[in-house]
């Protein structure tokens, strides 16, 4: 998965995000840091777009955002993959559509820099290999 497929031009799902995190060797702490980067990006976009802020601002008053912001009751330890997919799809369906090409290019650049930064952190603390295939089920 190249850096150019994400910033969410296409729909992403929890399995896509899990694979993205695994590919980059992100542990739970780095997954949350990646999520926070996207969350802060949305808040930044809202400051530049009053319509976006009026429509969605109230749903971003609490961190983390989204339908899976609460307990990790059925996510089997993969909460950041699920939350990031939720947030990424919000970006793709709303904020991203209203962005200029220049803003999209800037976001892509910042995204690639963040992934590289987190990748360096991941190299400093290699993640334990597991045979875990996430079972995203409502149980």
Measured between alpha carbons, how far is 79 from 18 in angstroms, rounded to an integer?
Answer: 10
Residue 139 CA, chain-centre distance (Å), reads 24
CB-based contacts of 63-69 (< 8 A; 24+ apart in sequence): 63/36, 63/39, 64/35, 64/39, 65/39, 65/90, 66/90
Strands (E), 45-125: none
Give the tens place of pLDDT for each residue, 72-126.
545 566 788 888 988 999 999 888 888 899 999 999 999 999 999 999 999 998 7
Task: Please give the helix or strand (H or E) that residue 45 lies within, else none.
Answer: helix 28-48
**What pTM value is reported for the model?**
0.83
Give the tens place of pLDDT for each residue, 30-39.
999 999 999 9
């Amino acid at each position: 998965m190249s850096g150019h497929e994400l910033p969410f031009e296409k729909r992403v799902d929890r399995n896509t995000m899990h694979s993205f995190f695994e590919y980059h060797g992100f542990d739970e702490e780095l997954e949350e840091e990646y999520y926070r980067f996207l969350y802060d990006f949305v808040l930044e976009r809202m400051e530049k777009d009053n319509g976006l802020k009026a429509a969605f601002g109230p749903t971003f008053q609490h961190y983390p955002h989204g339908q899976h912001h609460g307990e990790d009751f059925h996510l089997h330890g993969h909460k950041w993959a699920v939350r990031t997919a939720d947030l990424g799809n919000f970006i793709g369906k709303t904020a991203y559509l209203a962005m200029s090409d220049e803003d999209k290019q800037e976001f892509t650049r910042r995204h690639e820099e963040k992934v590289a930064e987190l990748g360096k952190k991941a190299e400093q603390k290699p993640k334990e290999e597991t045979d875990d295939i996430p079972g995203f089920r409502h149980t």
